[in-house]
Structure formats: structure tokens, C-alpha cells
């Protein structure tokens, strides 16, 4: 049985490319810290590890890789950080995370490779720590693309992003918070801050850990 312990909160940002995740996650960490919450910003893929460097090289189209193999590598990049993540939370550090397993599933399944459907994509993620709160920055792909266009990396095309968005719609769970990401930076931040404060308070009061996809 999961024990009730005071711990940090795991707060996750998800959404299509260019929806504002990096701006909002950075701003949220600054805001939490300035109100005395011990918080850190993490992101996936974590490109600093040797697996992360392989992922980085794939995303930059410097290497090719089988679609199933790169999917498992993205998942393995979360597994290799799992113990460190859990240790941080147990120390009372709140982790604001920019992308996680939901991106992993939404992106690979968007490729439409026979056999690599949502269920297949979820399986290597099962058992990873489940976030305490998901802030899904909801933005139509056209609005995201209008923010300066997609970049040079693999996956940064409107068609793929539309399929990713449709997959996020299928993955959404009722405990997620859907934030209208078309608002101003401050409006979006205020919505995210309220959810984060609530998650932090619940975890300080003692909250069990949950696992994907329970
Ligand atoms: N991505 C990200 C995946 O395909 N699978 C994953 O598990 C994760 C975490 O990598 N286009 C994709 C989504 C992005 C790209 O992310 C890199 P970012 O946030 O642009 O660094």
C-alpha cells in the first residue's frame, strides 16, 4: 500500500510543439521558487545522457533509427532518470517537467506505423511515476505554427503535429487540466500557477505516488 508522505509535486506540461511549454514551465519554476517552494525544471528527452545524445542526433536527422527502437529509447531515457526523479520528490523538491510519456506515446503513434498504435506505445511507459498534475497547453496547430513556424527538427511539420494533437485528445484523462494556451503569457501562467499551488499543497500534506497507466 502506498504510504502518505510529505514530498514534492510532479507537475507536467504537455502539448504540441510551440504551444508555450518551455516559456510556461520556466516561469512556473521561477514563481514557485520566489514563493519559497523548492522547485526544479526537468525536461524530456533529457539530452545530456548517452541515450539522450542518441535521441538528440535522431531528432536533428543526423542518424536514422527504426521507429520502434527510437520509441523505446525515449521511454528508456525516462526509466534511466526514474530513481533520480523519485529521490528528488522524496527530498521535497517539486519537479516541473516539460514533456513526458504522453508526448512519447502521442508522437510515435502519430507516425501511423503498422503495429505501433497507442496501446503498443504506452506499454514501455507503464510503471513510471505518474504526474500529480498535467497542464495540457491546448492550442490549435495553426496557432502554434503562426508563432514563428516550426523549427528544423524531425516531427516539426503541421501534418504530424495535427496527428499528435488528436492523440493527446485520446490520451487526456479527467484529472488533467486543459489550459487555453492562446491567451497571453500572464493569463496562461495564472491558470498554471493555481493548479501547481494546489498540487504542491496536496503533496506537502502527504499524497501517495501513482504509476502510469494505473
Ligand atoms: N518527443 C519527445 C518524442 O517523440 N517522444 C518523447 O518521448 C518525447 C519526450 O521530441 N518534437 C519529441 C517531441 C518533440 C521532440 O522535444 C523534442 P522538445 O520539447 O522540442 O525538446
**DSSP class per residue in 110-159:** HT--TT--HHHHHGGGTTSBPPSEEEEEE--HHHHHTTT---SSTT-SHH
Based on the number of CB atoms within 10 Å of its own CB, is 136 exposed (0-12), middle (13-18) or buried (19 or more)?
Answer: buried
- What pLDDT score does 214 carry? 78
C-alpha cell at 124: 514501455
Distance 8 CA to ligand 1 centre (A): 24
Under 8 Å between Cβ of 44 and 77:
yes
Q: 48 in helix, strand or coil?
A: coil
Helical ranges in the chain per DSSP H: 21-34, 50-59, 67-90, 101-110, 118-122, 141-145, 158-171, 185-204
Tell me if 104 CB under 6 Å of ligand 1: yes
Among residues 144, 147, 149, 156, which one has the least CA distance to residue 61?
156
Q: Is the beta carbon of 15 within 6 A of some atom in ligand 1?
A: no
Q: What is the pLDDT of residues 157-180, one digit of tens each?
A: 999 999 999 999 999 999 999 999
pLDDT band at 32 (very low <50, low <70, confident <90, very high): very high
| Cβ atoms of 177 and 136 closer than 8 Å | yes
- How many Å lie between the centroid of ligand 1 and the Cα of residue 27? 20
- How far does the centroid of ligand 1 lie from the alpha carbon of residue 57, in Å? 12
Which residue's CA is the closest to the ligand 1 atom numbered 5? 104
CATH topology of domain 10-204: Rossmann fold (3.40.50)
Residue owning the nearest CA to atom 3 of ligand 1? 104
Is the Cα torsion angle 38, 100, 198, 27 positive or negative in sign?
positive
Look up the pTM and report it. 0.97
For the chain, what percent of residues have pLDDT higher than 90?
A: 93
Residue with cell 502506498: 2
Cα-based torsion angle of the residue sequence 95, 41, 70, 20 in order, rounded to the nearest 10 degrees: 110
Taking the centre of ligand 1 as the mean of its atom positions, its distance from the CA of residue 107, in whole angstroms, is 8
94 lines ligand 1 (CB under 6 A): no
For the chain, the average pLDDT equals 96
Tell whether the model's pLDDT for residue 2 goes beyond 80. no
Domain boundaries, the chain: 10-204
Q: Is the CB of 99 under 6 A from ligand 1?
A: yes
Q: Is the CB of 44 under 6 A from ligand 1?
A: yes
DSSP state, 10?
E
- Point out the ligand 1 atom lying closest to the alpha carbon of residue 151: 20
**100, 71 Cβ separation under 8 angstroms:** no
The mean per-residue pLDDT over the stretch 40-53 comes to 98
pLDDT of 141 > 90? The answer is yes
**Which residue's CA is minimally distant from atom 16 of ligand 1?**
45
pLDDT, tens digit (0-9, with 9 covering 90-100), for 146-158:
887 788 899 999 9
Amino acid at each position: 500500500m502506498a504510504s502518505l508522505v510529505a514530498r514534492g509535486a510532479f507537475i507536467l506540461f504537455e502539448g504540441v510543439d510551440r504551444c508555450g511549454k518551455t516559456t510556461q514551465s520556466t516561469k512556473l519554476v521561477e514563481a514557485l521558487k520566489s514563493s519559497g517552494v523548492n522547485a526544479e525544471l526537468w525536461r524530456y528527452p533529457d539530452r545530456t545522457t548517452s541515450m539522450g545524445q542518441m535521441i538528440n542526433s535522431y531528432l536533428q536527422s543526423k542518424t536514422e533509427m527504426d521507429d520502434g527502437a527510437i520509441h523505446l529509447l525515449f521511454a528508456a531515457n525516462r526509466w534511466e532518470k526514474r530513481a533520480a526523479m523519485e529521490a528528488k520528490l522524496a527530498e521535497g523538491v517539486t519537479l516541473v517537467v516539460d514533456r513526458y510519456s504522453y508526448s512519447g506515446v502521442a508522437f510515435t503513434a502519430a507516425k501511423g506505423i503498422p503495429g505501433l498504435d497507442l496501446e503498443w506505445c504506452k506499454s514501455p511507459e507503464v510503471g513510471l511515476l505518474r504526474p500529480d498534475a498535467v497542464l495540457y497547453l491546448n492550442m490549435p496547430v495553426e496557432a502554434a505554427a503562426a508563432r514563428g513556424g516550426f523549427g528544423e527538427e524531425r516531427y516539426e511539420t503541421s501534418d504530424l503535429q495535427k496527428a499528435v494533437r488528436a492523440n493527446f485528445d485520446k490520451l487526456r484523462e479527467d484529472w488533467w487540466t486543459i489550459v487555453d494556451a492562446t491567451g497571453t503569457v500572464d493569463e496562461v501562467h495564472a491558470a498554471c500557477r493555481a493548479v501547481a499551488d494546489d498540487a504542491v499543497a496536496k503533496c506537502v500534506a502527504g499524497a501517495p505516488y501513482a504509476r502510469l497507466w494505473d
